[in-house]
Amino acid sequence: MAKKKIKINLAKPWFDRREPEAAYRVVKSGYLISGPLVEKFEREFAKKIGVKYAIAVNSGSSALLVVQQALGIGRGDEVIVPNMTFISTASSSLYLGARPVFADIEMKTYGIDPEAIVKRIANLPASRRKKLKAIIPVHYAGQSCDLDPILKIARKHKLFVVEDAAEAHLAEYNGRKVGGIGDIGIFSFTPSKPMTTGEGGMITTNNAELAKKCKLIRNFYDINKFQWHEFGFHFRMPETMGAIGLVQLAKLERAVAMRMSIAHRYTKELNKLGCIVTPYERTRKDINFQLYTIMLIPGALSIDRDKFIDELGLRGVQARLYYPCLHKQNVFKGMGRYNDNEFPNSIAFEKNALSLPIYPGLKNKEVNYVISSIQEIVKKYKT
């Protein structure tokens, strides 16, 4: 008998009655912006990450813009970023007039490769090395990347370290929460994240001067009512988002634990198939499984990754590549000449990686369905 097909989305937010109730109270109060709930959300988030300051904004992409402007990054400067990440990690620099410099990833955490950073810096002309201002390591899929060597490189070359922890809520590195280890960090709260405010983002730092600048930049750089001292943005977080954020923050540990449970069920079964690389775990505290990303072993199946995703889709299971290589994106033409040979790991990832459904509301029968669907595909196409 044919297996009944069901629809399983890649991600879903985890809400109960408390989120709409919190948002409704804000709407009913009429206090929609610059209110006490956003300020409370900032304080509580800072405590959760273990930093002195948290600054709420309207998106993670906005956070990257604000942070780099606060660091003085602008026209003519250069910023090292991983070649595999969401576009705003790199486009935020471009928006400010700086040039993103792409470096390859490593194949355990899929974070930026410290050796690739060293090589990239060494290969830059001296005139461009002088313009380097920062490194933006990304904690991909909620997995903390290898920060210690990156911090060492940054100190040697007097560069800022901006942690892109957009996906890495509660993930740790050597016992410390990411987003609080570099000079400054950012988080995102879009619906696929371990916690969401719809849109929204947060900046985290222990530097009082940077925190002050970020607060000014997110609000037009208004130093006193209608006194605009420098260029700023309209990036404030609305009160409704702050209210939802407080509810979600209170559930964050539980949400991560549920993701962890699902991920370990996937890993146990998929490791038996002999054709899939499952996510690396340095320790269980170092990853939140914002995504569950697997790699197909080249040559182990008679189909490629895209066909594998199509086969899952035919069975009602949504899967997707997160993310393609940035050096090939049209928006970055003119940012320098790059060759695919410079990015063997990013290219391999782009060709063979896919992410599977994972979120707190995913039911046991749905997890089993995803696993059995993959088992069917592997049985059909294994070489």
- Tokens for 79, please give them: 């910023």
Q: Are 210 and 70 in contact (CB under 8 A)?
A: yes
CA distance 208 to 223: 16
| Side-chain half-sphere CA neighbours of 252 within 13 A | 24
Cβ-based neighbours of 357, under 8 Å, separated by 6 or more: 8, 9, 10, 11, 292, 317, 318, 319, 366, 370
Q: What burial class does residue 207 get, using C-beta atoms within 10 Å of its C-beta: 0-12 exposed, 13-18 middle, 19+ buried?
A: middle
Smallest CA-to-CA distance from 144 within 123, 165, 115 is with 165
Q: What's the whole-model pTM score? A: 0.95
3 state SS of 114: helix
Angle at 378 between CA 377 and CA 381, to 5 degrees: 85
- Provide the β-strand partners of residue 37: none
Give the integer Cα–Cα distance in Å for 151 and 164: 14
d(CA 332, CA 94): 8
DSSP string spanning 311-362?
A: HHHHTTB--B----BSTT-GGGTTS----GGG-HHHHHHHHHEEEE---TT-
Q: Give the separation between CA 222 and CA 232, rounded to whole angstroms.
A: 8
- The region, left, alpha or beta by phi > 0 then psi within -120 to 50, assigned to residue 30 is left
pLDDT tens for the 383 residues of the chain, in order:
345 567 999 999 999 999 999 999 999 998 898 889 999 999 999 999 999 999 999 999 999 999 999 999 999 999 999 999 999 999 999 999 999 999 999 999 999 999 999 999 999 999 999 999 999 999 999 999 999 999 999 999 999 999 999 999 999 999 999 999 999 999 999 999 999 999 999 999 999 999 999 999 998 777 777 777 787 889 999 999 999 999 999 999 999 999 999 999 999 999 999 999 999 999 999 999 999 999 999 999 999 999 999 999 999 999 999 999 999 999 999 888 899 999 999 999 999 999 999 999 999 999 999 999 999 999 999 99
Distances (CA, A) of 308 to 187, 231, 245, 377: 31, 48, 36, 8
> Which residue blocks in the chain are alpha helix, DSSP H?
18-29, 36-49, 60-70, 88-95, 114-123, 126-129, 147-157, 208-217, 239-250, 252-270, 305-314, 344-352, 364-381
Distance of alpha carbon 361 from alpha carbon 35, whole angstroms = 31
Model pLDDT, residue 34 = 81
Residue linked to tokens 């009082």: 208
Angle in degrees, 0-180, between the axes of helices 147-157 and 114-123, rounded to the nearest 10: 20
CA–CA dist 74, 78 (Å, integer): 9
- Which residues are identified as catalytic? 193
Which pair of tokens denotes residue 242?
Answer: 């702050």
- Cα separation, 230 vs 199, in Å, equals 26
Distance separating alpha carbons of residues 48 and 35, to the nearest angstrom: 21
Residue 5 confidence (pLDDT):
61
Cα atoms in the Cβ-side hemisphere of radius 13 Å centred on 340:
8
Q: Which domains does the chain have, with CATH numbers?
A: 17-248 (3.40.640.10), 252-381 (3.90.1150.10)
Q: How far apart are CA 133 and CA 263, in angstroms?
A: 37
